[in-house]
Amino acid sequence: MECREIREIISAYVDGEALPEEARRVEEHLGGCAECRTAEKRMRVLGVSVTRTEGAVPPDFRENLFARLEKEDLLPKRRSIFVYSLRWAAVPLAAAAALALFLLSSREPVRDLSPTALRPPQVSATGEQLSPEDREIVANLEVLEDPDLFDEPEIEEMEIFIPSSQQRG
């Protein structure tokens, strides 16, 4: 194949776009053609050079662009810090409110701490109003008031029983 005919394929080969069959032909040709090898090298250098061609990003580029976008109403505005604070505070505020409601609704009635209320209940001395069970309790009050009466006597000594067969050994 003539060099002029294969140069376009070499260009695609350099870009990694040659078909497998084309790549094989290019490699075969480059193996025997110094002129095309140089051409291939130069093509690669041009590719590197375009990647080195870069524009600079000015420091105010973003600021200027976003100002223009906002002017044209193309950019949603940032919410104020107050709105954000409210959004983030909403959950804990709701939880606190729910807790307060729960505490208020489940609170026990206020105890009557007056001296009359704190006085022990009065039992009729005559026993006329007592039921038979009450009378039995009153009769055994002495026992109930002295728990020691239920205690077992202290064990001074303990006898250990040893079978006679083991005593011999």
Partner 1 sequence: MRTDAELMEFYRKGSRDAFEELFARHHRRVIHFCYRMTGDQARAEEAAQEVFLRIARAASTYQPTARFTTWLYTIARRTTLNYLRDEKEPGDKVPIDVTGEGREGTDGISLPGPGDWGPERIAWGAQLQERFVAALQKLPEGNRTAFVLNRGEGLSYEEVATVLGVTVQAVKSRIFRAREMLLAELSGLLE
Residues that bind partner 1 (CB under 8 A): 4-5, 7-8, 11-12, 15, 17, 34-35, 38-39, 41-43, 45-58, 61-62, 64-65, 68-69, 72, 74-78
Smallest gap from Cβ 86 to partner 1, in A, equals: 19
Smallest gap from Cβ 35 to partner 1, in A, equals: 5
- Give the type of residue at 108: E
With respect to partner 1, which residue has the nearer C-beta, 54 or 156? 54
With respect to partner 1, which residue has the nearer C-beta, 16 or 163? 16
Spatial distance between the Cα atoms of 62 and 72, rounded to a whole number of angstroms: 15
With respect to partner 1, which residue has the nearer C-beta, 46 or 94? 46
Smallest gap from Cβ 56 to partner 1, in A, equals: 6
Smallest gap from Cβ 62 to partner 1, in A, equals: 7
Residue 40 CB neighbours (<10 A): 19
Smallest gap from Cβ 93 to partner 1, in A, equals: 25
With respect to partner 1, which residue has the nearer C-beta, 17 or 27? 17
Strands (E), 61-156: none
Decide: helix, strand or coil at residue 114: coil
With respect to partner 1, which residue has the nearer C-beta, 22 or 130? 22
Spatial distance between the Cα atoms of 76 and 95, rounded to a whole number of angstroms: 31
DSSP letter at 120 equals: P
Specify burial of residue 13 (Cβ count, 10 A radius: 0-12, 13-18, 19+).
buried
φ, ψ (nearest 5 deg) of residue 161: -90, 125
